[in-house]
Amino acid sequence: MALCGFESRCCTPNFERIREVENRNVGLIGDETYDFAEAAVVASMMMEDEAITTANLILKSSDFYIVKNQLLFIAISDLLIKKGRIDLVELRAKMEMEGTIDKVGGAEYIKELITSLPSAANVQHYCDLVKQNSDANKLKVISEQITKITEREDVTAGEKLAEIETLLIEAKDGQGNSGERISHTTSDDDLVTVVEQLSEKKDDTIKTGFNDLDYRLGGFPKGSFNILAARPSMGKTALATNIAYNMAQAEHKPLIVSLEMTWRMITQRLICSAGNVNIYDLKDLAKKDDPELWKKVNDAANELQQAPVYIIDKGINSVSDVTLLVKSMIREYGIDVLFIDYIQLLEAKKKHENRQQEITTISRRIKAIAKDCDIPVIALSQLNRAVENRTEKKPVLSDLRESGSLEQDADVVMFIYREDYYTKDKSDFRATNTADILISKNRNGAIGNEKMFFSPQNVRFTTFVPGYGDFQD
């Protein structure tokens, strides 16, 4: 049986044929040369441990077309990890135990490989040839799939584009440790650049605008995937819009992709928080003859015009839609930070067996957006109902709704908890107007709790001042 959908081909090593093309630019080379390159890669790996590292940086097992070479690549790599060295006797014993020795042509094929290749010096070149062939095969498959998608008559043009985008993203994700994706090394200029940035204390993170929160978080680094989660009515959207507004004031260009609220609703909340305006007054603004209130609203609107927050509330159903939108907005407006409200309202387009698998796909696509676009993404998330059924209402990482992959993929996970929400029906209730921002995961900083003031009617979070008392309008 062939692995990875490819049929097995017979291959007798002929390394002289490879050397004929080593010193010329590689264009469309016949299959024979690629077969030889595969054999040369695994032969090099059996000769030098360093060649194994080189091969694994450039190739994945699925890049091998010939089954016997693929099996050898897997076995050699696995043996180095487990034993820390390569021993041909142990390699043969391992493959015999796993039942793969006959599939590679027995010990004779292994012996033929290591005696036919004079040196492992050109292993990177052999790997590049194998990678080129693998990419060409994958491109052919993708081209055929795209053709089938474009010929379908049961979906709209927009849906076709979304399917194609998903297909291309999946193909890119599947490249693994391709040499083309290793754009920086810990040597020479790259290392000097990092050291210089550290010595000059350069900080390219984007701050929330709340000093205590920024002190603990360290800001949102470029390429980071950050989750802000809470039960309904805790203030997720309020905190997200407050942070977006602060970022805009600091001359960043935030984009809010809202799958729940309209742009008008988001804008009203921005006006309330920026102008310290009661949202109920804003709803009846036309009926109010209050010059001070009107001045607050106009001043807030002017501030938002000077430092705009971009809002998209239509045409976004899937994570593929978000990907296309963000890349377009970066090109057109220079967007440098993305907010998604909220994860569970997104679809993955591709069908999954259950919602948990779909959320896993969505989570990884959002992380890919952050990394590929080199911007921080702050994604809002719901929590499961288990929080409501226990005595301790403060959320924990396992409460993230529908998928553990959110916890795994995220660089930062923050929760909002408001004691007022759970005690408001008690006879002795007195509002504290505070919220706990629980930082439960933080790859680049500290975890812990930051208390903030929160005014629901003003849709506004502010820095907590101990002993200051209730929230002051």
Could you give the residue numbers annotated as active site? Answer: 260
DSSP 341: E
What 3-state DSSP class applies to 459? Answer: coil
The encoded tokens of residue 330 equal 């970066």
Residue 348's contacts (CB-CB under 8 Å, 6 or more residues apart) are 166, 318, 319, 358, 361, 362, 365
CA geometry: angle 300, 302, 305, nearest 5 deg: 110
HSE-CB at 88 with a 13 A cutoff on CA atoms is 17
End-to-end distance of the chain based on CA atoms, in angstroms?
Answer: 72
HSE-CB at 327 with a 13 A cutoff on CA atoms is 12
Burial code (b: 16+ CB inside 10 Å, e: under 16) for 202-221 equals eeebbbbbbeebbebbbbbb
CA geometry: angle 424, 425, 430, nearest 5 deg: 40
- 126 contacts 41 by C-beta, under 8 angstroms: yes
- 120 contacts 51 by C-beta, under 8 angstroms: yes
CA geometry: angle 334, 335, 338, nearest 5 deg: 170
Rounded CA-CA distance 421/169 in Å is: 41
CA geometry: angle 13, 15, 79, nearest 5 deg: 65
- What distance separates the 2 farthest-apart alpha carbons in the chain? 94
Torsions phi, psi of 241, nearest 5? Answer: -70, -35
CA geometry: angle 259, 262, 266, nearest 5 deg: 100
Rounded CA-CA distance 243/214 in Å is: 11
